Every structure is written in structure tokens, then in C-alpha cells.
Structure 1
Amino acid sequence: MEWPLTSGDYIIGDTNSSVAVVTLASDYTAWELKNYAICGTCFSENFGIEKIIVNVLANQNIHCLIVCGEDSGHLAGQSLIALAENGVSTMAGSRKIAGSNASLPYLNEIPMTAISRFLREVKVVDLVGNKDPVAIQKVIDSCTGPKRIEAQIVSMPEVDEDSWRKYEQLIKQNVMSKIKKG
């Protein structure tokens, strides 16, 4: 099977590298980073994070995810760090990133086994807000360690401009809840 598994805004480096880099809303192309397996952006706190999990798990060499750059308005970076620190809470069939401040931090398109494995096997390094390529490169170069035991192939549906609509009812509930509190 060809890697990476899901589409996105990324570039492939050395597929044998143990490091994945997500630059959030920052333009990684200007940074000239090296020694990573995959480097790209992430703007959303749900589908974007799920794509990261799918692609990282599919390469058994990757055991370190560096989260850097400027966060998006959807708080993808804050949500990734919250996921690494707190995991997910399951309520009414939805998996919400515990501690996320984002509007829709739900990881419902991939299996819970994939999320659990990601949390167990991948070290997430918090450099959210850091846009210094020299500092980021030092962290990339310091991430060493053994390969994970095996790759995990996880599928997820294609994401398009209407994918968010499955959360439309949750959005309405959140807005109404905020109006009642205010």
C-alpha cells in the first residue's frame, strides 16, 4: 500500500525517518526543514487531526510528532496537544478531545483503536507558536528511538466541503448553550 494514506497539504521527506512535523497554519515550504518523514499543515481540529493520525500510524518508523507553527482559528494545535495530554472522552457515540478549546474537537471518522494506539506509541512534542526553523530542526534531529512494532492501516472517508455538516446539530447546540449563558 502506498504511503501516506490520506490526502493533504504535505511533503514527503525520508520515509525511514522517525519524525512527522505538522506546521499547523504556517507555511512549511519556506522553512527548509529536513530529516522528517512527512511535513505539512493542519487547520482543523477534527478531520485534519484524524488525517495526521492515519498517516502517522501507517508508517511504522514514525514515533515522534512535532506540532509547531502558528495555530489555526480552529485551534488544531491546541487540540492536538490536548489529545496527547488528555485523550478523548466518549459521550453519546462521539469522541471529543478532552481539554480542547476548539468548536468541534470530535474524532469520529477513525476507530478508537487507532486513537489509542497513536496516544500510546507516538510522542507529541509541543512547539505550538514556534516558527523558528532552526529551533524546530534541532527538535527534529533530537527525536530518535526505535521503530514502532508495526504499521496500522486505518481508513477514513474522504473529506470534502460538506463533511462538517455531520456536526451541524452540535454546532447549533453549542451556539444555543452560549446564548443562554450570556
Structure 2
Amino acid sequence: MEWPVTPGDYVVGDPNSPVAVVTLASDYRSLNLKNYAICGTCFTENFGIEKVIVNVLSNHRISCLLVCGKESDHFAGQSLLALAENGVSAFGGSRKIVGSEGVIPYLNEIPATSISRFLREIEVIDLVETTDPAVIQQAIDSCSGEERGEAPELSMPEIDEHSWKKYEKEVKQNVMSRIKKGQQ
């Protein structure tokens, strides 16, 4: 299996490293980091997180996910941390990240078993809003993970600018709920 398995805005470092780095909305190129397996951005609380999960799980050497950089407008960092802390709720047929502040925090494009495996096997390290390369590099260098079991063969469906529309009903409900909360 060729790794990484799904395209995105990232660079591959040393595939034998136990660390994956998500720089959220910050430009990973300007940080000049090293000693990671994969490093890239994540802007969205749904498809972006799913791509991170797929690429992290498909390399059995990765056991740490370092989440750093400026938060995205979609709260991808907060949503990743909420996922690690609270998991997902399958209420209503969709897998929603419990405690996410994002408008569309649904992880329905990958198998539920992948989410469960990610939660069990990957240590998520919170450095959201940290952009100091020295601090981030120190965190990368301090990760020493054990190789996980065999990497699952995962794939991700094609995502385009219209993919979010399947969540249009949920988006409207979430936005209206937030408006009502703000009026109280």
C-alpha cells in the first residue's frame, strides 16, 4: 500500500517517525520542522479530520498526532481535540464529534471502526495556537511511540466543493440553534 493514501496539503518526512503534525491553518512550510512522518494543514472539522485519520492510521509507525498552529475558521483543531476527548455520537444516523464547536462536525465518510481505532491507538497532543517552531519541534522530538499493529487499508471518497451539501439540513439546524442560544 502506498502511503499517504489520500491527497491533501501536506509533506512527507520520515515515514518511520512516530509523529504526524497538523498545523491547522498555519503554513507548515514556514515552520521548517523535521523528524515527522507527515506534516500538513487541516482546515475543516469533517473531511479534513477524516483525511488526517485515514493518513495517520494507514502508517502503523505513527502513534502521536501533534495538533498545532493557528485555529481554522471551522474549528478543526478544537474538533480534533474534542474527538480525542469525547469521541463521536451516532445519534440520528450521523457520527458527530461530541463537543465540537464546528458547524459540520460529522465523520461519516470513513468507517466507524477507523474512528474507534484512531481513538484507541493515537495520542493527540494539544498545541493549538502554538506557532513557535522551537516549541513544536521540541514536542515532535519528545514523542516516542511504539509501532501499532498492522495498518488498516483505508480509503477516502473524492471530496469536492459540493460534498458538504449532504449536511445542509444539519448545518441549518446547528446555525439556528446557535442563533437561539445567542438570543437568550
Normalising by structure 1, report the TM-score.
0.97
Equivalence for 1:167? 167
| 1:120 partner letter | R
Equivalence for 2:118? 118
Whole-Å Cα distance in 2 between the matches of residues 56 and 138 of structure 1?
Answer: 20
Whole-Å Cα distance in 1 between the matches of residues 177 and 133 of structure 2?
Answer: 41
Tell me if the contact between 2:62 and 2:145 (Cα under 8 Å) persists in the aligned partners: no
Equivalence for 2:132? 132
Equivalence for 1:24? 24
Whole-Å Cα distance in 2 between the matches of residues 10 and 30 of structure 1?
Answer: 13
Shift of the alpha carbon at 1:180?
Answer: 4.8
Tell me if the contact between 2:12 and 2:38 (Cα under 8 Å) persists in the aligned partners: yes
Tell me if the contact between 2:61 and 2:148 (Cα under 8 Å) persists in the aligned partners: yes
Whole-Å Cα distance in 2 between the matches of residues 115 and 180 of structure 1?
Answer: 31
Q: What are the equivalent positions in structure 2 for 1:96-107 lying under 5 Å apart?
A: 96-107=96-107
Q: Per the alignment, in what secondary structure is the counterpart of residue 90 of structure 2?
A: strand
Equivalence for 1:92? 92
Shift of the alpha carbon at 1:175?
Answer: 3.0
Shift of the alpha carbon at 1:132?
Answer: 0.5
Equivalence for 1:143? 143
Equivalence for 1:15? 15
Q: Per the alignment, in what secondary structure is the counterpart of residue 165 of structure 1?
A: helix
The alignment-based identity, stated in percent, is: 69
Whole-Å Cα distance in 1 between the matches of residues 159 and 35 of structure 2?
Answer: 29
Shift of the alpha carbon at 1:179?
Answer: 4.5
How many residues align? The count is 182
The 3 A distance-change label for structure 1 pair 139 and 175 is closer
Whole-Å Cα distance in 1 between the matches of residues 179 and 125 of structure 2?
Answer: 36
Q: Per the alignment, in what secondary structure is the counterpart of residue 127 of structure 1?
A: strand
Shift of the alpha carbon at 1:67?
Answer: 0.1
Greater displacement, 128-137 / 149-158:
149-158
Whole-Å Cα distance in 2 between the matches of residues 123 and 77 of structure 1?
Answer: 14
Give the gaps of 5 or more residues in structure 2: none
Q: Deviations over 1:38-64 (max 9, x none)?
A: 000000000000000000000000000
Whole-Å Cα distance in 1 between the matches of residues 145 and 168 of structure 2?
Answer: 42
Tell me if the contact between 2:18 and 2:145 (Cα under 8 Å) persists in the aligned partners: yes
CA RMSD of aligned residues (A): 1.0
Whole-Å Cα distance in 2 between the matches of residues 180 and 143 of structure 1?
Answer: 43
Give the gaps of 5 or more residues in structure 1: none
The 3 A distance-change label for structure 1 pair 125 and 180 is closer
Pair 1:33 & 2:36 matched: no
